[in-house]
């Protein structure tokens, strides 16, 4: 019996690629560049499984070919708003993701962004590397204290909870959150947090707001001009969720007007494009989507995909099937 044919759209950790090659007839993307829609459409007509990442856009148009043979999309990542899951479902294609394994590393990156923007770490490093530092003085790059401030979290899933725990127990922050479904108060208290009724309630209370909700249609531009205007004057916004959760034009306007004191971003609406206005702002810390970028986590993500695809082709239920 021939092995299922699988396309891996980007290079993965070597240990994961080795396991895939052992179990399947694998094709790797040796150039390690994102595939275009035409290439992905062609792949769906050739391979039994395609293993995409957030850099691969799979809108409905990609699934319109009549000769689709792909049976499963094993997504490398927990977010899958780059895939039109309704179109995949209509073609009978299963979709899986990789939840759980990137929780801690993404929460760590959110904390890195929060501390960096509050304490003006990005500005300081740029100044020092440019040879512009004139030495210590009492008014140089004075930032904002983090300990004891109020943190607002939008989305209290695994990553939101891990971030709350770090900020409350590590920095003594008062943590409030919004979540679409109610969270048991005792469960929330385990993470040092309490639930508020609306997004606006959280925004009005928080000195720092961190986004940990899914991307996609239901949350597209959740943080729009109206919501940004309800944040406390001088507050900071952190995003390690998905870029489309923020209206970037509205964010730029809020930062330029001084409504927001700063922002820390790891994700963007049209990655890898980052608006020039954001890139030139000193009070914005920008990272290139590093949330899960540790050797341990990226390997664990890859192995999650291996487990899902292996189970699917063995006729078992894929553990992390979303469609």
Structure tokens at 162: 């891990």
Q: What is the pLDDT of residue 251?
A: 98
CA distance 151 to 11: 37
- Candidates 274, 240, 234; CA nearest to 254 is 234
Residue with tokens 């290139």: 288
> CA of 179: how far to CAs of 7, 184, 196, 293, in Å?
36, 11, 8, 26
Residue with tokens 């209290």: 156
Q: What is the pLDDT of residue 59?
A: 96
CA distance 80 to 214: 9
The mean pLDDT values, 10 residues at a time, for the chain of 323 residues are 95 98 97 95 97 96 90 96 96 97 98 98 98 98 98 98 98 98 98 98 98 93 98 97 97 97 97 97 98 98 98 98 96
Q: What is the pLDDT of residue 1?
A: 73
- The DSSP bridge pattern shows strands 49-51 and 235-239 to be unpaired
| Residues with active-site annotation | 242, 271, 289
Residue with tokens 């479902």: 89
CA distance 153 to 208: 8
Q: What is the pLDDT of residue 217?
A: 85
Residue with tokens 């990156």: 109
Per the CB < 8 A criterion, the answer to whether 88 and 95 are in contact is yes
Cα–chain center distance at 8? 20
């Amino acid at each position: 019996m021939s092995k299922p044919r699988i396309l891996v759209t980007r290079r993965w950790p070597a240990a994961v690629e080795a396991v895939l090659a052992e179990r399947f007839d694998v094709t790797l993307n040796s150039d390690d560049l994102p595939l275009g829609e035409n290439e992905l459409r062609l792949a769906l007509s050739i391979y039994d499984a395609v293993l995409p990442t957030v850099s691969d856009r799979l809108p409905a148009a990609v699934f319109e070919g009549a000769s689709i043979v792909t049976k499963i999309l094993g997504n490398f990542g927990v977010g899958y708003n780059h895939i039109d899951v309704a179109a995949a479902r209509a073609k009978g294609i299963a979709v899986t993701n990789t939840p759980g394994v990137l929780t801690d590393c993404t929460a760590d990156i959110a904390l890195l962004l929060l501390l960096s923007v509050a304490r003006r770490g990005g500005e300081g490093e740029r100044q020092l590397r440019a040879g512009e530092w004139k030495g210590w003085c009492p008014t140089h790059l004075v930032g904002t204290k983090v300990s004891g401030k109020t943190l607002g979290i939008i989305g209290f899933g695994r990553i939101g909870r891990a971030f709350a725990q770090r900020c409350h127990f590590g920095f003594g922050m008062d943590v409030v959150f919004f979540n679409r479904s109610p969270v048991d108060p005792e469960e929330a208290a385990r993470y040092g947090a309490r639930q508020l009724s609306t997004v606006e309630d959280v925004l009005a209370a928080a000195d720092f707001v961190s986004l940990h909700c899914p991307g996609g249609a239901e949350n597209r531009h959740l943080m729009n001009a109206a919501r940004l205007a309800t944040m406390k004057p001088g507050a900071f916004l952190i995003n390690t969720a998905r870029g489309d959760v923020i209206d970037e034009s509205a964010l730029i306007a809020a930062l330029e007007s001084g409504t927001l004191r700063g922002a820390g971003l790891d994700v963007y609406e049209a990655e890898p494009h980052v608006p020039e206005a954001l890139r030139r702002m000193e009070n914005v810390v920008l990272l290139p989507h590093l949330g899960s970028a540790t050797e341990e986590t990226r390997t664990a993500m890859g192995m999650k995909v291996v487990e899902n695809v292996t189970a699917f082709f063995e006729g078992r239920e894929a553990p992390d099937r979303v469609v």
